Amino acid sequence: PCSKRKTCSDIIPSLWEDYSISYSQSLDALSLLGANYEKIVEILTNRTAEVYSLDTSSVFFDCTNFYFEIDAEDLLRRKGPSKENRTDPILGMDLLLDRRCIPIGMRLYPGNQSEKPVLRSAVKDMKKHLSLQGKTVQVADKGLNCAQNIYEAKKGKDGYLFSRSVKTLPQIEKEWVLKDGDDEWKWVYDEEGKKKYRYKSCIDMFSYSFVMSGTGKRKKFSTKEKRIATFSPKLAKKKKMEIAKMVSKASRLCTSQAKKSEYGESAKYMRFVSIGKDGAESGNEVAAEINEEAIAKDMELAGYNMLVTSETEMEEKEIYKVYHQLWRIEESFRILKSELDARPVYLQDGNRIKGHFLVCYAAVLLERIFQILILKDRFSAHAISELIRNFNVIQTNRLQYVNTGTRTPLIEEMCKYYSLPLNNYFLTKGQIKKVLGYRFTPLP
């Protein structure tokens, strides 16, 4: 999954088997795949379920987007909030993982669409395509936490586990989170006995409301919910450093009389006031000053987080553990964007673009199956990518090849359990075919 011109000029010629595929043929193949990408994702998911089985008692969901360095928008690539804070047209991608963090769904959508409705349709489609009847707990971050997603989850007899920003809580709930009673907070320690995080929880009926699409009427409902407040010293330290960095940037710009647009994210710690020549707050001049109140509020909330869930019987530490599996989705997006060279995308046709990201998704799926189900999560995705990229041989004569790969812990493990000659310096054609044709079973 990289530039298709590079695929044809560099990747395909270096493969063990001989393939004769032209650049135009690869583009035609992408068009065919892209036109049917949703069907192919469904086929991949069902086949994964047949071979390995899937655990959909919990599903993890998140979205990302990919920018395109083009001027004009089209039906697929539209301007919207970019993850890289760029102004180029973007394409949105959602990713759905099962409880073991195996990809089970992917969809592409125009970059100007909101991410929140995508969660509802993704879970609905997954249950339909896999013929699932049981309860599924939807896990997502605060960006996807909205009243309608909670309502639809309950309506579909599913559960939910979302995070929520403490900053946006009503004052009475914010005071409960920040209250430092030793009898309420419970510390969790790591293996070395150091404080990892602390938590406290409550169960109550909470009210929500949202405007229904189509009718424009406001829907109100109440639901029984467990809320867990957490505080992480490590996260608090990181957040405070980020705040200090933004304040420092704002202070430097303030002294140089920079434009408001130059402050970026640090603008939230500034106060911009129109002043006249007499210094009064009126006129055409704009003065910038540090907003000490905003800084103090964010410093106070640094390290705190809120988890809200319908699973009132689930233990707090288990809820925390399940939620923090979301990092797997973030890692999957990083794999796409870095390890697998999913960007930049030089394609223009909509179906070819979809075909490109389908190839990327299939690569991530295969890598995750190998990492989590075969290698039992003992090695990182980066280690697997390095193995794939660096397993190269050079032919010295008609029957013998030289292995130029580097010895790594992953290769050592595979040699030990699968008796593969990955560490051999000299390899025969038969040995190479054995490696490439090997069917892996899970590590003991």
Instruction: Give me the pLDDT at residue 256, please.
Output: 58
Estimate to the nearest angstrom the gap between the alpha carbon of 271 and the chain centroid.
34
Dist. CA 95–CA 64, nearest whole Å: 8
E strand map for 33-181: 58-67, 90-97, 103-110, 137-140, 159-164
Q: Can you give the pLDDT of all 444 residues of the chain as single tens digits?
A: 788 888 899 889 989 988 888 999 999 999 999 999 999 999 999 999 999 999 999 999 999 999 998 888 998 999 988 888 788 899 999 999 999 999 999 999 998 888 888 888 888 888 888 887 778 999 999 888 899 999 999 988 899 999 999 988 999 999 999 988 767 899 999 888 899 999 999 999 999 999 987 788 899 999 999 999 999 999 999 999 999 988 888 777 766 555 655 667 777 887 776 665 554 555 456 667 788 888 999 999 999 999 999 999 999 999 999 999 999 999 999 888 888 888 888 888 999 999 999 999 999 999 999 999 999 999 999 999 999 888 899 999 888 999 998 899 999 999 999 999 999 999 999 999 999 999 999 988
CATH number of 4-162+314-374: 3.30.420
Give the phi and the psi of residue 400 in degrees, each rounded to 5.
-125, 145
Cβ proximity of 46 and 130 under 8 Å: yes
2-5 contacts at long range (C-beta below 8 A, 24 or more positions apart): 2/340, 2/341, 3/341, 3/346, 4/30, 4/346, 4/347, 4/356, 5/346
Predicted pLDDT of residue 181: 72
pTM of the model: 0.85
pLDDT digits (tens, 9 = 90+) for 78-107: 998 888 878 889 999 999 999 999 999 999
Sheet (strand 304-309) strand order:
103-110, 90-97, 58-67, 137-140, 159-164, 304-309, 218-231, 195-211, 186-189
Residue 280 tokens, joined: 């009064």
CA distance 179 to 184: 9
Q: Residue 212 half-sphere exposure, CB side, CA atoms within 13 Å? A: 9
Q: Find all residues with CB under 8 Å of 109, minimum gap 6, and list them.
A: 91, 92, 93, 94, 118
Helices 116-129/37-52 angle, 10° precision:
60
Please report, as a single letter, which amino acid is at residue 274.
S
| CATH 3.30.420 residue spans of the chain | 4-162+314-374
pLDDT of residue 184: 83
The three-class DSSP label of residue 100 is coil
Contact status, residue 307 vs residue 164, Cβ threshold 8 Å: yes
Amino acid 227: pLDDT: 95
Q: Comparing C-alpha atoms, which of 153, 177, 158, 157 is closest to residue 166?
A: 177
Per-residue pLDDT at 275:
60
Task: Give the span between the Cα atoms of 199 and 185, in whole angstroms.
Answer: 5
Residue of 25, 37, 11, 22 lying closest to 357 (CA atoms) = 37
